[in-house]
């Protein structure tokens, strides 16, 4: 599974990207579960964000969806933290 | 006005912050102690004001009603209540900084615009610090302020910057004034208004004229070693930073460089550079303290009740020009506003 995350917005307005291929990774099953849950709970279009909240774009293989602060699911939060190496 | 005599007598807060953030333990100790003293003195000044505790809290007060919570690196809000109005400073610098920043912002709005808190009716000001782990952000979630500790590779110390705190609380002011849709040009105006009053709160506290102000947003949050001076520059949008870890400041100053993007709610933190620069040009044209005239024109426009929530740049340009006319009649102020919008390439038809 190919997972790509883009975070934009935030007070600083800095954009972060991260992507990875799960095949061959020891944590592949967990990442695939998080990514599947995260993208399933996300919206097809950009979702409204609170002022200075982070906005996320998740692409799992060829499916892209969106979510934003403060309405992140646990799976989305965990996925973003795993890929971006920052709190979500 | 109470704070001014005191605040002006000390090292500017950003210098104290720089000291407190220093890698040198001795320098850092000096900076931290300075901030503690500052906190204590502010508290003493606050307590020196004779206030009779009413049996029933008044609906509208002239004093802030602040509560700072500690999320303890979790994402649970609001977290543990750590400091309220009746409490002495804590040993946690972030708690005290947030508390003081909320107070300075309250004072700015009350002294300059006679506005009592963000809703104009004494709304309690709640803030949570230490939100999440390496959470690289500060935000207004519609009810309260939320501060992360930063990732400490690019950003840190959100609580130490008054312009950050005032920026966030101004999102509340905008919301209670009817709101500006957080998308595209209205969203960039929403962001710009938070930068404008964030900067003005800082300028007011430091008693700086437009000429003396740095017009920077987030100058206290960049980690030492990052190639940059701040997150945004109202004076020269696009020049605040250029660093391998952060990229280059993407802000335009003029409409010709407007950035069309789907991200960041349509570039609300990017295209805010255009109205930011327009405000800067008005403030410089009028001179003196920017909150007195330029700030009054922007504040009156925001709170008039007639600004549509989907206002675009030309609508806001027209509205601020009309407000300048209403407040000051034909002449210098109205001309300065019209000219500034023209300089950034926004045709307000004013």
Q: How close does chain A come to B138, measured CA to CA in Å?
A: 6
Query: Per the CB < 8 Å rule, is B137 touching A15?
Result: no
Average pLDDT score over chain B:
87
**Would you kindly state where each structural domain of chain A is located, as residue ranges?**
2-84
- Length of chain A (residues): 88
Cβ contact, residue pair A13, B250, below 8 Å = yes
Q: Coil, strand, or helix at residue A64?
A: strand
How many other C-beta atoms can be found within 10 angstroms of the C-beta atom of residue B212? 10
For residue B142, name the pLDDT band (cuts at 50, 70, 90).
Answer: confident
Positions of B annotated as catalytic residues are 168, 269
Of A38-52, A72-86, B56-70, least confident by mean pLDDT is B56-70
Q: Strand order of the sheet with strand B138-140?
A: B80-84, B66-70, B125-129, B145-147, B138-140
Residue B51 has pLDDT above 90, yes or no: no
Secondary structure (3-state) at A68: strand
Quick one: which of B82, B105, B89, B102 has its CA closest to B35? B89
Q: Indicate whether B2 pLDDT > 50.
A: no
* Of A46 and A8, the one with more pLDDT: A8
CB-based contact (8 Å) between B167 and chain A?
Answer: yes
ipTM attached to this prediction? 0.94
The per-residue pLDDT for range A17-72, each reduced to its tens digit, is 999 999 999 999 999 999 999 999 999 988 789 999 999 999 999 999 999 999 99
Cβ-Cβ contacts under 8 Å, A70 against chain B: 141
Q: What is the mean pLDDT of residues B294-302?
A: 98
Instruction: Classify the C-alpha dihedral B96-B100-B102-B103 as positive or negative.
Output: positive
Provide the pLDDT confidence category of residue B348 given band limits of 50, 70 and 90: low
- Which one of B76, B139, B149, B177 would you mutate to disrupt binding with A, by most A Cβ within 10 Å of its Cβ? B139
pLDDT at residue B350 in the model: 43
The stretch B223-230 carries a mean pLDDT of 96
Low-confidence winner among B4-13, B158-167, B176-185 (lowest mean pLDDT):
B4-13
* Cα–Cα dist B21/B203, whole Å: 22
Please name which of B131, B142, B136 lies closest in space to residue B98, comparing C-alpha atoms. Answer: B131
Instruction: Give the closest residue to B195 by CA, choosing from B159, B219, B177, B229.
Output: B219
pLDDT of amino acid B59: 53
**Position of tokens 């000044």?**
B45
pLDDT of residue A48: 85
Give the one of A8, A11, A77 whose C-beta lies nearest to B139's C-beta: A11
Q: Quick one: tokens of A15? A: 């954009």
Instruction: Return d(Cα B274, Cα B280) in angstroms, integer.
Output: 10
Distance, in Å, from the CA atom of B156 to the CA atom of B151, rounded to the nearest integer, reads 7
Touching A: B residues 47-86, CB under 8 Å? 75
pLDDT > 50? residue A15: yes
CB–CB contact B151 A86 (8 Å): yes
Q: Residue B15 pLDDT > 70, yes or no?
A: no
Above 70 in pLDDT, residue B261?
Answer: yes
Query: Comparing A49-58, B25-34, B135-144, which segment has the lowest mean pLDDT?
Result: B25-34
C-alpha to C-alpha distances, B66 to B1, B21, B154, B180, B205, nearest whole angstrom? 19, 26, 29, 26, 18
**Rounded mean pLDDT, B200-223:** 97
Please check whether residue A60 touches B, CB under 8 A: no
Lowest mean pLDDT of A32-36, B33-37, B225-229, name the range: B33-37
When comparing pLDDT for A22 and B16, which is higher? Answer: A22
pLDDT at B111: 97
**Start-end of H helices in chain A:** 28-40, 74-84
**pLDDT given at position B39:** 47
Are residues A10 and B268, on separate chains, in Cβ contact within 8 Å? Answer: no
**3-class DSSP state for residue A47?**
coil
Written as six digits, the tokens of B291 are: 């909150």
B180 touches chain A (CB under 8 A): no
Could you please report the per-residue DSSP string of B222-264?
BPTTSSBS-SEESSSTT-SBEETTTEE----SSGGGPPP-SHH
How confident is the model at residue A44, as a pLDDT?
Answer: 93
Residue of A nearest to B242 (CA): A14
Q: Residue B241: which pLDDT band, with cuts at 50, 70 and 90?
A: very high
Number of neighbours of residue B142 by Cβ within 10 angstroms: 12
CA dist B305 to B82, B175, B181, B338, Å?
Answer: 36, 12, 15, 21
Q: What confidence category does residue B60 fall into, taking pLDDT thresholds of 50, 70 and 90? A: low
Least CB–CB distance from A87: residue in B148, B194, B218: B148
Neighbours of B19 (CB within 10 A): 20
**Is the confidence at residue B283, as pLDDT, over 60?**
yes
Q: Which pLDDT score is estimated for B347? A: 81
What does each C-alpha distance from A73 to A30, A67, B72, B342 come to in angstroms? 16, 9, 20, 45
Residue B108 has pLDDT above 60, yes or no: yes
Rounded CA gap, B216 and B199, in Å? 7
Nearest by CB to B270, from A13, A55, A86: name it: A13
Nearest CA in chain A to B139: A52
What residues of chain B, 255 to 314, have a C-beta less than 8 Å from chain A?
262-265, 268-270
Q: Which of A51, A86, A87 has its CB closest to that of B140? A: A51
pLDDT on residue B37: 39
């Amino acid at each position: 599974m190919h997972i790509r995350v883009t975070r934009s917005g935030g007070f600083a307005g800095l954009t972060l990207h991260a992507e990875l291929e799960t095949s061959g990774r020891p944590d592949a099953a967990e990442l695939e579960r998080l990514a599947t849950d995260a993208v399933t709970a996300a919206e097809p279009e950009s979702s409204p964000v609170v002022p200075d909240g982070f906005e996320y774009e998740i692409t799992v293989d060829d499916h892209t969806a969106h979510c934003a602060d403060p309405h992140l699911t646990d799976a989305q939060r965990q996925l973003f933290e795993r890929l971006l190496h920052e709190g979500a | 006005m109470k704070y001014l005599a005191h605040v002006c007598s000390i090292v500017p807060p950003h210098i104290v912050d720089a000291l407190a953030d220093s890698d040198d333990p001795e320098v850092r100790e000096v900076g931290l102690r300075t901030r503690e003293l500052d906190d204590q003195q502010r508290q003493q000044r606050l307590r020196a004001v004779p206030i009779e505790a009413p049996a029933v809290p008044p609906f509208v007060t002239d004093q802030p009603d602040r509560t700072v919570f500690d999320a303890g690196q979790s994402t649970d809000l609001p977290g543990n209540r750590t400091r309220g109005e009746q409490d002495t400073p804590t040993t946690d610098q972030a708690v005290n900084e947030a508390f003081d920043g909320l107070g300075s912002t309250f004072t700015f709005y009350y002294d300059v615009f006679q506005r009592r808190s963000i809703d104009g009716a004494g709304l309690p000001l709640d803030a949570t610090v230490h939100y999440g782990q390496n959470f690289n952000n500060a935000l207004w979630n519609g009810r309260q302020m939320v501060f992360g500790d930063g990732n400490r590779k690019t950003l840190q110390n959100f609580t130490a910057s008054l312009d950050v705190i005032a920026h966030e609380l101004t999102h509340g002011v905008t919301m209670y004034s009817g709101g500006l849709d957080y998308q595209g040009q209205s969203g960039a105006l929403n962001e710009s208004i938070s930068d404008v009053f964030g900067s003005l709160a800082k300028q007011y506290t430091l008693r700086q004229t437009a000429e003396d102000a740095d017009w920077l947003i987030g100058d206290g949050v960049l980690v030492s070693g990052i190639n940059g001076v701040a997150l945004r520059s109202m004076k020269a949008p696009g020049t605040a930073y250029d660093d391998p870890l952060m990229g280059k400041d993407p802000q335009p100053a003029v409409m010709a460089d407007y950035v069309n993007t789907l991200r960041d709610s349509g570039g609300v933190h990017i295209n805010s550079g255009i109205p930011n620069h327009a405000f800067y040009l008005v403030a410089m044209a009028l001179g003196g303290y920017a909150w007195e005239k330029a700030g009054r024109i922007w504040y009156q426009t925001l709170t008039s009740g007639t600004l549509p929530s989907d206002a675009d740049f030309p609508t806001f340009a027209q509205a601020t020009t009309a407000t300048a006319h209403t407040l000051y009649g034909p002449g210098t102020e109205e001309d300065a506003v019209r000219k500034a919008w023209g300089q950034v390439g926004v045709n307000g038809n004013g």
